[in-house]
Amino acid sequence: MTAGAIKRRKGKAHFPIATAYDAPFAQFVEAAGIDVVLVGDSVGNVVLGFDETTPVTLESIIYHTQAVARGTTRAHIMADMPFGSYQVSNEDALRSAIRLVKEGGACSVKLEGGRDQAERIRAITGAGIPVVGHIGVTPQTAGLGPGFKMRTHRDRLIDDARSVEVAGAYAIVLEVVDYEISREITELLSIPTIGIGSGPQCDAQVLVLHDILGMYPHSPSFAKRYAEMGSLATKALQTYAQEVRDGVFPPAMQVAERVP
């Protein structure tokens, strides 16, 4: 699945994207028919135990992207550029993007920012690496502005979206953007919009895997929990622990064959 093929989905049927950070869950995502996987820097929150995404390193994203690449066969792997990997200079940004592709196995990279990051997007796409933009709520710099509140500055959002497209991005994430403004941006741009908490008009939707699966007690209000895997996992582990304590597991009769 190439970036070009994703771009050509613009205006056609809505398509789903999910994050994944390791081989087994990437396999589940692909088996569900989802052919675009984002190795998000949300790995910091949902896998690595950080409160925010800023501590996530380029090495971490490369490591998790490699695992996702091993777990998939044909899905498009989009890798997030973590905080600090693209802000300093165009050269730095390009070097980081090349590492994500060459070492990680990413098919494209995503970075946060609008007009202020257009130069970086141009530098990376100029070297032949497809880029996804990301505007609205940008968690890497949420501390600077209105945090995680819905973005409603129409003119600024439209200007950012246009700048990202003109700079050469093949798609753009709209995170927690007012639904009406998202609709307007989706109509204005010729590249797909990928919504998260930004309404049903976007060309695609993306959600964090752990929110979809209900791994933690709380998830953002815009996310839908399609399972309660956190409590399922706890129950399974409680049963295992109890069976060991009660002498129920392992059973008395030895199992002869070994699982290969």
DSSP 221-253: TT---S--HHHHHHHHHHHHHHHHHHT-SS-SS
Nearest CB to ligand KIV, comparing residues 116 and 243: 116
Nearest CB to ligand KIV, comparing residues 38 and 246: 38
Bond from prior residue into 16 cis (ω within 30 degrees of 0): no
Closest CA to 78 of 48, 111, 55: 111
Nearest CB to ligand KIV, comparing residues 226 and 249: 226
Report which residue's Cβ sits closest to ligand KIV: 40
Nearest CB to ligand KIV, comparing residues 59 and 243: 59
Distance CA 84, CA 185 (A): 28
Among the options 175, 228, 243, 257, which is catalytic?
Answer: 175
Contact 96, 129 (CB under 8 A): no
> Side chain identity at 240, as an amino acid letter?
Y
Distance CA 79, CA 85 (A): 12
* 175 tagged catalytic: yes
Least separation in angstroms between residue 161's CB and ligand KIV is 15
Nearest CB to ligand KIV, comparing residues 143 and 247: 143
Distance CA 202, CA 124 (A): 25
Could you tell me which residues are beta bridge partners of residue 193?
172
Least separation in angstroms between residue 142's CB and ligand KIV is 12
Least separation in angstroms between residue 88's CB and ligand KIV is 20
Least separation in angstroms between residue 240's CB and ligand KIV is 31
Least separation in angstroms between residue 42's CB and ligand KIV is 3
For the chain, what is the largest distance between any 2 Cα atoms, rounded to a whole number of angstroms? 71
Which positions lie near ligand KIV, rule CB under 6 A? 19, 38, 40-42, 80, 173, 175, 196, 206, 208
What Rg, from alpha-carbon coordinates, does the chain have?
Answer: 20
Q: Work out the angle between the directed axes of helices 58-71 and 23-31 (0-180°, nearest 10).
A: 50
Supply the residues annotated as catalytic.
175
